[in-house]
Structure 1
C-alpha cells in the first residue's frame, strides 16, 4: 500500500488513528483487553481503558498503557455518568496523546457500558473547551476513527440481543440508566467494521444461525471465528475491512436502511423483513400491532408516517424486548423553502424519485431482522395498522378531523399507558418492554 494512503483509500491524513475495541457480556467483554494488547504490540500504540464499575459512587478507574508501561488513575466525577467520563476525561486525553510525536495509534478498550457509536459521535462533535494552548473544538480535529472492532461471545450474544433486561439489572450501569442489554449488544455489532466471534459451542446449527444474523446486520464487516483470542491475527483482520466501511460515521434517520447489500432470503430461520407503504399508520392500531416486533426479532428500525402527525418523521428502533419511538424532524413536504434549501441533497434526490403530488415524500419504510418469527405474520400485523381507504380520504380532505383520533404516540408518549396490555412504547424517553414495564 502507498504509505501516503490510509486504509480507507483517502489521501494522507495527519490525524492520529483510533481503533475502538468493544465487547459485551461473557468472554467477549473479558477478551477486549486481550485484543487491545495484540494491537499494542505495534510500536507507538497507546491503549486507554475507563473502568465504569464504580460509576455509581462517582469514581472511574482509567488505565493508560504504552508498551510495558502502565499508568492507573482514579477519577472522581461529581456527576458520575458515561457522558461525563467522555467529556471530562477521555476526549481531552485523546487530544493530549495525539499531540505526542511518539504516539502513532490510540486503542480504546471500551467498558461494556460504553457504546462505540456514542464514543465516535462525541469524538466528532463534542466541543472541548478550556485546554491551554488549544483552540476550542472537537477531538476529531486531532484524531480519526480507523476502525471499530467488536468481540462477541457466540454462546451468549443472541440471548443478550433478544433480552428484556436493563444494564442496571446486570450490574453494568447505574439504576437511572435505562438502556437495555439488547440495545447495547445489538448496537455494538451494528456499528462494527469488523467482528471477532468467540465460538466454543461446537454446535454447527447455532453457529450457522448466528452467522446468518451477522451477515444481515453487518453484511460487509469481516468476521473472524476463533476458539481462542490468542490465535487471532488482529492486524490482519483490520486489514480486511473494506475501504468504504463506516469507520465511526454516524448515520441519521434518513440514511439507507439496508446498507452493504445484505442477503434478502431466509437462511436458518433468519430473514430481513422489508415493509414499505405509501399511506400512513393509524396510531391506535399501530400501538396494538407493535408487539409483533418483540418475539423472535433481533432488531427493527425505520421511518414512519403517522396519520395524526403529518408533518413529523417518526423514527422507530428496537432491540430485543425494548423499543423506542421518537421524532426525526419534518418531512421535506412540510418544510419551508429555506429549510428545504438546507436539507441534505442526497435525501432530496431520493425523495424526488418517489414524490407524490398529494403527500410529497411521506411514506413508511421499515426493516426488521427476524431470527425466530414468521415474516408473513410481521407484514400482516403492520399492514393491518395502516389507514384504510375511507380513512385515507379523511387524511387527504379533513386533516383536522384526523388530528382528533386517539394517538398513543402524542407528546411522544410522555405518560405511562394506563392499560396493562403490552405496548413496547417509550415512557419519558425510556424503553418499555413488551410486558409494559418501563425500562
Structure 2
C-alpha cells in the first residue's frame, strides 16, 4: 500500500511571544496552504489551554479543558491528534507549530516520533524539517544568566513546573536548527557577551536576523547536517560543532573528564560550584554508590537538575552494543576500561566570570581518593547517598521519553 508523502512541519519557539508570532506569520504567508497552530498555556494551571489555528482564511480559537494541566497532556490529547488531522487534509501543504514560551522543542520532537496516536506515531504523517528558535537580543543574556523561575513570570507549563527561565532559554537555543535574532541588545558589551555565550552553547547553529528574513530565506538557512528534531543521545557527544576554547567577554568553556567515580556526599557538596558564575553545565557523572546508572547533571543560570541517563553499557542490565547509536559505541570504545567499562565523568561547563580551574579543582576534590578507590565497589555502595530520593514526574499517566524524563531533582540557588 502506498502512503501519501509526509507533510513538512516546522517548530517555532523561544521566549519572545511577539517575535515568535511574527516569524510564524512569515512562514504562513510564504507558502499557501500553511497551517499555523499555537497553544497558549497561560491558564494551564486551571486545566485550560487556548488553541489558535490559522489556515488560509480560517482563524479559529478553541478553548480546551484538559484532565491534567500539563504540557505532556496538551501534546498527547490535542496537538498530536491535530497534527495527524491536518496532515491528512488535502489543502494543507505545510504545518507550523508555534510553541508556547514555556515549551522546549526537544520533548515535543520526541513525542512526535514516539507517542502513539492510534497505532502509529505522528511522525508517519509529518516530516519535521526545521526547529527555529527566536532569541530576544534585549533580554536573552539576562534570562540565561539569571535565577528567575518560570513561575515568577507566569510561564509555568504545569502547576508543578519548577524549571528556571535559564533552563528553558538554553534548551530552546541548543536544540534549534536556526537561531532567529530579534531586537537589539542594550549596548555593545551585552551584545558581545551574548554572542560569546551562543558561540559556546550553540556553536554550529546559524543565526539570522528577523528583520532581514522572509518565510523562504529562514528555511534556506537550515544547514544540510541540521538535527531536524533528532533527540539528544544522553550518552553521545556533549558538544555539537566546534566552540571556541579561548575566553571572550568573561565567557569560557571547561571540559571536565575523569576515570574514577565521585563520592556521593562530596559530589553533592561540590554542586554549588555549578550555580555561581556558570551559564551552563551538561554531562554525565559516575557516582560510586550507584555504579550501574549514569547520572545526568544539567545546570542553567541559578538552576540545577540531576537525573538518570540510563545504565552504562558495562552495567549488568545495560543495553546491548547493537541497540545503541554508532556514536555511543564509538565514544565507549575510546574510553573502555577493562574493569569499569564505559563508566566515566564527562561534563561541559560554560563559565561566566568564574575561573574554570576553580570548578575543575572542586569537582576533582569530589572524586574518590586512591585509598577509597582501592576499597572497591562493595565499600562504595555503603556510602551515605544524598541522591537516593528523586522527584517523580507530576503526571504519572503521561508517556515520556525514558532517557530524558525518568527522574529529576531540581534545585535553585536560594534553595541550597
Instruction: Give TM-score scaled by structure 2 length.
Output: 0.90
Query: Aligned residue for 2:88?
Result: 99
Shift in Å at residue 387 of structure 1? 1.2
Alignment of 1:8-407 (within 5 A): 14-24=5-15, 28-41=16-29, 42-129=31-118, 136-173=119-156, 174-201=158-185, 203-225=187-209, 229-335=210-316, 339-395=320-376, 399-407=377-385
Rounded to whole Å, the distance in 2 between the matches of 1:333 and 1:386 is 20
Q: Once the 2 structures are TM-superposed, how far is the Cα of residue 302 of structure 1 from its aligned partner?
A: 0.7
Structure 2 CA distance for partners of 1:109 and 1:342, relative to 1, 3 Å: closer
Give unpaired runs (5+ residues) of structure 1.
1-12, 130-135, 415-427
Determine whether 1:410 maps to 2:391. no
Tell me if the contact between 1:299 and 1:318 (Cα under 8 Å) persists in the aligned partners.
yes
**Secondary structure in 1 aligned to 2:281?**
strand
In the TM superposition, what is the alpha-carbon distance from 1:82 to its structure 2 partner?
Answer: 1.3
Distance 2:318 2:19 in 1: 52
Deviations 1:212-254 (A, max 9, x none): 11111111211124xxx45433421221221111111111211
Q: For the pair shown, which has the larger CA radius of gyration, 1 or 2? A: 1
In structure 2, C-alpha distance between the alignment counterparts of 1:385 and 1:332, rounded to whole Å = 24
TM superposition shift of 1:341: 4.9
d(CA) in 1 for partners of 2:319, 2:241: 33
Q: 1:434–1:151: structure 2 CA closer, same or farther, 3 Å change rule?
A: same
Distance in 2, matches of 1:232 and 1:340, equals 44
- Alpha-carbon displacement from aligned partner over 1:349-388 (angstroms, at most 9, x marks no partner): 3222222122221111100111222111111111111111
Query: Distance in 1 between the 2:323 and 2:259 partners?
Result: 25
Matching residue of 1:8: none
Moved over 6 A (4+): none
CA contact (8 A) 1:117 1:248 kept: yes
Q: Could you tell me how far 1:338 is from its partner in structure 2?
A: 7.6
Are the aligned partners of 1:220 and 1:242 in contact in 2 as well (CA < 8 Å)?
no
Aligned positions, number: 397
Matched residue SS, 1:435: helix
Tell me how far 1:413 sits from its aligned partner. 7.9
Q: Give me the TM-score of the superposition, normalised by structure 1.
A: 0.86
- The separation in 2 between residues aligned to 1:169 and 1:106, in whole angstroms, is 32
Query: Residues 230 and 208 (structure 1 numbering): CA distance in 2 closer, same or farther, change over 3 Å?
Result: closer
